[in-house]
Structure 1
Amino acid sequence: MSLRTGQLPASVPAHLPCLSLSTPAVAVVSEDDVYHSSNSTYRASNSPHKADQEALLGKLLDHSAPGLQRPEDRFNGTYIIFFSLGIGGLLPWNFFVTAKEYWAFKLRNCSSPASGKDPEDTDILNYFESYLAVASTIPSLLCLMANFLLINRVQVHVRVLASLTVSLIIFVVMIVLVKVDTSSWTRGFFSVTIVCMAIVSSSSTVFNSSVYGLTGSFPMRNAQALISGGAMGGTVSAVASLVDLAASSDVRDSALAFFLTAAVFLGLCVGLYLLLPRLEYARYYMRPVGPAHMFSGEEEPSQDTLGIPSVTPRSRVAHTPPLGPILKKTAGLGFCTIFLYLVTALIFPAISTNIQSMHKSHSPWTTKFFVPLTVFLLYNFADLCGRQITAWIQMPGPRSKVLPGLVLLRICFVPLFLLCNYQPRSHLTVVLFQSDIYPVLFTCLLGLSNGYLSTLVLIYGPKIVPRELAEATGVVMSFYMAVGLMLGSAFAALLEHFI
């Protein structure tokens, strides 16, 4: 499928028929066979990808409100803001995950020569990434459910600003704990860390799903900017980790720089989000639309569905968006999202961070830089490249059978990583790939495929439903993602005990 993102036309033919949520057919009329949606332009063709074009055109066309002209995104200001918000949305989680050396330092009893010899301490140290991943995904699911219920009750700017503030407070707490000697209460520090991770993950989930839902009313390139920004956040954290490891001999100083950077960037995100409605381009797409209405199979949406303000009877307004039509429309993309993130979370970071270099020397490469470079930096950079490619290429389409096929094919990464030099291993003794180049190659392919395919399914989701359901669909797509991450984290914790 070929998509061209560009400036929207000044108007859409008024004779365009309305669509019902329960009707899969798409009615499009244009004098020159060019289809217009609120995010892209599709030129008609007799190619086999026409069904994919129609799938995206299932989103009702965005009519210009009377007296409003479609402004341009001057200097790409809105694109840059969404890209920056994407960085800020995932930067806290990435900083938590990449500070592996700091957590290992804090979770061993520094005042005792026998540090880490206690079986419980050993369990905490060996499986800390899995515990961290589980603590981040389960609260995320609950927060996504709450966010879906609050869409029509709490304004989006309240949810966004509140979640950013909570994340900022947690990072201030982590900054204070960096300088606190926790050697006498290692298990207590572990509990505090898990709780902080759960809170940060919850607030980040509310922030990401709210902003992602907001981009559903914008052209597709803005959703792509937000998702690519998330990958950039991971890349920034990985680069920061390497710089800190190289420049600082004290892991506490390195962690302090990490958490300070995250706190500063969260503050920057607050300022950028407050700036967003001041831009004419953003203000146009953020204009109010009617709340989601409940439709029966025979009813047709009113003019309000097309983004044109109208007076709606209070009895017709749904305080909670209709979940059934959204689930029906996004079922295929939802499966792809869940399986994509299940495979990714199964491997990264729990399995991939425990792959050690085959070289037995005590050089900085094997002892200090192998995991930060070959796991975090390469994965996040490959993930960023995959997401950025979707700015120019969007294939396969949302209804293509190739898309779920590519998603299912990624399960092959699991045995490939396990057959590298994963340590410790008790039951699986075979190390088939006895070279450091293999985990490097597999990590790049894992990140590239995750970035490209996940961005496709996430930008497709809010575009196959009417505009007033775009934000709710964004939350549902985020829910699919959280389910995949939770399942992947749970399976990773189980798998580690059988290796």
Structure 2
Amino acid sequence: FQSYFESYLSVASTVPSVLCVILNFLMVNKISSNTRILTSLAIMLVIFLMTTALVKTDTSSWTKEFFTVTLASVAIVSGASNIFSGSIFGITGRFPMKNSQAVISGQGMGGTVSAVASVVDLAAAGNVTDSAFAYFMTAVVFIFLCIIVYLILPYLQYSKYYLKIPEERVQTAAVISNGSTTEEDIQQNMTTPTQSQNGSSGVIPPLKTILKKNIVLGLCVFYVFMVSIIIFPSISSNIESINKGSGSQWSNKYFAPLTCFLLYNFADFCGRQVTAWIQIPGPKSKFLPTLVVLRTVFIPLFVFCNYQPRDTIKVVFFNQDLYPVIFTILLGLSNGYLGTLPMIYGPKVVPKELSEAAGVGMSFFLMSGLAMGSAFSVLLVHLI
């Protein structure tokens, strides 16, 4: 199980997610975003509470069953997480582009915080059980905070304006510009529940119209994340330090947590954050898909680092610890930048009334790329 755990984990987390993203798209106009988001957060909270409790449970006598429970938990959390993130990204499609970019950067920051928590737990905890308990409790706390913050969101004046459907937004702006109403009237108008928040038309969004506008951007997202998940974490986490036998803490304890998880997530966050200031290439540029395809070169670069164990491909070309560090930085930066650009472009190239559905649709391309990459990662690990 240990040799292929990361690959199994990737499959368990991405395949159900694709199904949930499809379901999310079909539910856009049938179930309110509030219901989808709060329900998915509640499911994640319950699963992480259960996982935290299992940390203190002796599972040595039912290893296979525990492995199955773990993968099932991952599948449920992943599905709920993607309904949550798809719904959130769909909502931000109605906000200015800077807000969509901030959501995606926030996801990258979440990965970085998670990686930092893992390293801190590893260094500070007396044993692996205490480390795992603190790690999963961190997740419980963050999910609880997410619920509180989302409940506050509708009360902010800024979000009240953009959460309105476009027609209501125009009417509100016209009333304000004419000066024909009082501040109390404006407040009352802005707090009126909208169809897109609390009720829905029940009509499935026009998929053909959306795809006609952003199919190239969607395929860019698909390929960026497919290449990344082939490598990270199933390949990159099994790259060992050349000096592993030396007995140093760096080589034996911290090499993978630092060079794989922390470095990749931080680089990914930086790549996402750069899109707040630089948005080149544009949504219609042919250079964007070219850069995306060029990322394929990362696959052989990581395979020929010191990946262990190796049964078929015995050759290691990059036999210095510096190589996987450089490759991981470049992989993370390119994933963050080239993955974020089409994600924020997607909801903006369609009519405003389709922006939420387009945002959910872009999440489908993302999750499909992760699912396909997971399948290829399992195959690649077995080939190595």
Q: TM-score, normalised by structure 1?
A: 0.70
What is the percentage of aligned positions where both structures have the same residue?
Answer: 57
In structure 1, the gaps of 5 or more residues are 1-123, 292-302, 312-316
Matching residue within 216, 238, 244 for 1:332 = 216
Matches within 5 A, 1:220-259: 220-259=97-136
SS at structure 1 position matched to 2:319: coil
In structure 2, what is the equivalent of residue 193 of structure 1? Answer: 70
Matches within 5 A, 1:477-488: 477-488=362-373
In structure 1, what is the equivalent of residue 95 of structure 2? Answer: 218
Q: CA deviation at 1:318?
A: 6.2
Matches within 5 A, 1:32-111: none
Letter in 2 for 1:411: T
In structure 2, what is the equivalent of residue 268 of structure 1? Answer: 145
Q: Answer yes or no: is 1:381 the counterpart of 2:266.
A: yes
CA deviations on 1:177-221 (whole Å, 9 max, x unpaired) are 000000000001000000000000000000000000000000011
In structure 1, what is the equivalent of residue 308 of structure 2? Answer: 423
In structure 2, what is the equivalent of residue 145 of structure 1? Answer: 22
Letter in 1 for 2:71: I
Letter in 2 for 1:219: P
Instruction: Give the Cα separation in 1 of the matches to 2:7 and 2:86.
Output: 23
Instruction: Give the Cα separation in 2 of the matches to 1:374 and 1:440.
Output: 6
Mark the structure with the bigger radius of gyration: 1
Letter in 2 for 1:355: I
Matches within 5 A, 1:11-26: none
CA deviations on 1:344-400 (whole Å, 9 max, x unpaired) are 000000000000000021211111100000000100010011011011000001111
Q: CA deviation at 1:330?
A: 1.0
Matching residue within 233, 237, 240 for 1:353 = 237
CA deviations on 1:18-75 (whole Å, 9 max, x unpaired) are xxxxxxxxxxxxxxxxxxxxxxxxxxxxxxxxxxxxxxxxxxxxxxxxxxxxxxxxxx
SS at structure 1 position matched to 2:31: coil
Q: CA deviation at 1:288?
A: 3.1
Letter in 1 for 2:355: A
How many residue pairs get aligned? The number is 359
Are 1:290 and 1:468, in contact at CA under 8 Å, matched by a contact in 2?
A: no
Instruction: Give the Cα separation in 2 of the matches to 1:420 and 1:249.
Output: 32
CA deviations on 1:458-491 (whole Å, 9 max, x unpaired) are 0000000111111111111000001100111100
Q: Answer yes or no: is 1:398 the counterpart of 2:283.
A: yes
Check 1:432–1:174 CA distance in 2 against 1; reply closer, same or farther (3 A cut): same
In structure 1, what is the equivalent of residue 165 of structure 2? Answer: 288
Instruction: Give the Cα separation in 2 of the matches to 1:274 and 1:196.
Output: 26
Matches within 5 A, 1:296-335: 319-335=203-219
CA deviations on 1:395-427 (whole Å, 9 max, x unpaired) are 001111110110000000000001100000111
Q: CA deviation at 1:289?
A: 4.6
Letter in 2 for 1:458: M
Instruction: Give the Cα separation in 1 of the matches to 2:143 and 2:234.
Output: 26
Instruction: Give the Cα separation in 1 of the matches to 2:234 and 2:202.
Output: 42
Are 2:30 and 2:202, in contact at CA under 8 Å, matched by a contact in 1?
A: no
Instruction: Give the Cα separation in 1 of the matches to 2:362 and 2:319.
Output: 39
In structure 2, what is the equivalent of residue 172 of structure 1? Answer: 49
Letter in 2 for 1:401: K
Q: Answer yes or no: is 1:444 the counterpart of 2:329.
A: yes
Matching residue within 419, 432, 435 for 2:320 = 435
Q: CA deviation at 1:290?
A: 7.0
Are 2:266 and 2:332, in contact at CA under 8 Å, matched by a contact in 1?
A: yes
Letter in 2 for 1:281: Y
Q: CA deviation at 1:249?
A: 2.8
Instruction: Give the Cα separation in 1 of the matches to 2:317 and 2:126.
Output: 35
Are 2:241 and 2:251, in contact at CA under 8 Å, matched by a contact in 1?
A: yes
Are 1:140 and 1:202, in contact at CA under 8 Å, matched by a contact in 2?
A: yes
Are 1:461 and 1:477, in contact at CA under 8 Å, matched by a contact in 2?
A: yes
In structure 2, the gaps of 5 or more residues are 176-188, 196-200
Query: Which has the larger helix fraction?
Result: 2
Q: CA deviation at 1:145?
A: 1.1
In structure 1, what is the equivalent of residue 376 of structure 2? Answer: 491
Q: TM-score, normalised by structure 2?
A: 0.91
Instruction: Give the Cα separation in 1 of the matches to 2:31 and 2:340.
Output: 27
SS at structure 2 position matched to 1:126: coil
Letter in 2 for 1:335: L
